[in-house]
């Protein structure tokens, strides 16, 4: 998008009204996927931080409410569902926020729940790396700089692009070297598996 077009949209009252309408529709439908579309557009249009924060809070509220219900029912999200994947993205981003703010325990707990939800998928090992890093209290910036393949993260166009899954370390060796830490952490979610 050209800079001038973007500037015109930022100042277009109809565009802002359309965003407000889409926000109401996403909330009414309890659709995290639609709410993320509105959030992305709001970020692009550099909306006020209150609007951005409100949208993300709504996304988290819906996602964690659904997570609580699924855990209570002994169910998992459907990974093939775009809506469920959007909810898992929100939960993951909240975990990353906790991790980047130094809340290692809170981040590890979220990564454990996500591991449970993604078990048997291509993200399983990536989440194990997150769990070990949080359990070891590795600073998030250090984790990102020393463990993450930032080029691959930035160019990833896959279905799971919103999740850090590319590393510059040998994941298998890292997990083997930290197997005791990982097993101890994974023992915390044994109750979820029935």
Predicted structure pTM score:
0.90
Mean pLDDT of 126-151: 96
Query: Is-contact 46 10, C-beta < 8 A?
Result: yes
Residues 6+ apart with CB under 8 A from 61: none
CB-based burial label for 32 (10 Å; 0-12, 13-18, 19+): buried
Mean pLDDT to the nearest integer, 26-55: 90
pLDDT band at 192 (very low <50, low <70, confident <90, very high): low
| DSSP letter, residue 78 | -
Task: List the domain boundaries for the chain.
Answer: 1-75, 76-194
Q: Which stretches of the chain are DSSP H helices?
A: 3-10, 13-29, 32-44, 49-73, 82-100, 104-118, 124-135, 140-147, 150-155, 171-177, 179-186
Higher pLDDT, 128 or 191: 128
CB 186 within 8 Å of CB 115: yes
How many CA atoms, within 13 angstroms, populate the side-chain half-sphere of residue 71?
Answer: 16
On whether the CB atoms of residues 56 and 96 are closer than 8 A, the answer is: no
Q: Check residue 193 and give its pLDDT.
A: 58
User: What percentage of the chain carries pLDDT values higher than 90?
Assistant: 66
Alpha carbon separation from 115 to 8, 52, 99, 110, 135 (Å, rounded): 43, 28, 16, 9, 14
Does the structure show a pLDDT above 60 at 194? no
């Amino acid at each position: 998008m050209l800079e001038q077009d973007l500037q015109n949209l930022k100042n277009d009252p109809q565009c802002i009204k359309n965003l407000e309408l889409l926000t109401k529709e996403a909330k009414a439908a309890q659709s995290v996927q639609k709410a993320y579309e509105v959030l992305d557009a709001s970020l692009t249009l550099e909306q006020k931080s209150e609007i951005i924060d409100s949208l993300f809070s709504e996304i988290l509220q819906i996602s964690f409410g659904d997570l609580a219900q699924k855990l209570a029912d002994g169910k998992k999200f459907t990974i093939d569902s775009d809506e469920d994947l959007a909810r898992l993205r929100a939960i993951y981003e909240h975990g990353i926020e906790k991790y980047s703010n130094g809340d290692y325990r809170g981040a590890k707990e979220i990564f454990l729940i996500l591991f449970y939800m993604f078990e048997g998928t291509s993200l399983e090992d990536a989440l194990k790396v997150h769990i070990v890093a949080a359990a070891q209290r590795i600073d998030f910036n250090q984790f990102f700089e020393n463990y993450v393949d930032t080029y691959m993260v930035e160019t990833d166009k896959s279905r799971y692009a919103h999740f850090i899954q590319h590393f510059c370390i040998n994941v298998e060796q890292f997990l083997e070297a930290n197997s005791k830490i990982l097993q101890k952490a994974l023992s915390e979610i044994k109750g979820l598996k029935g």
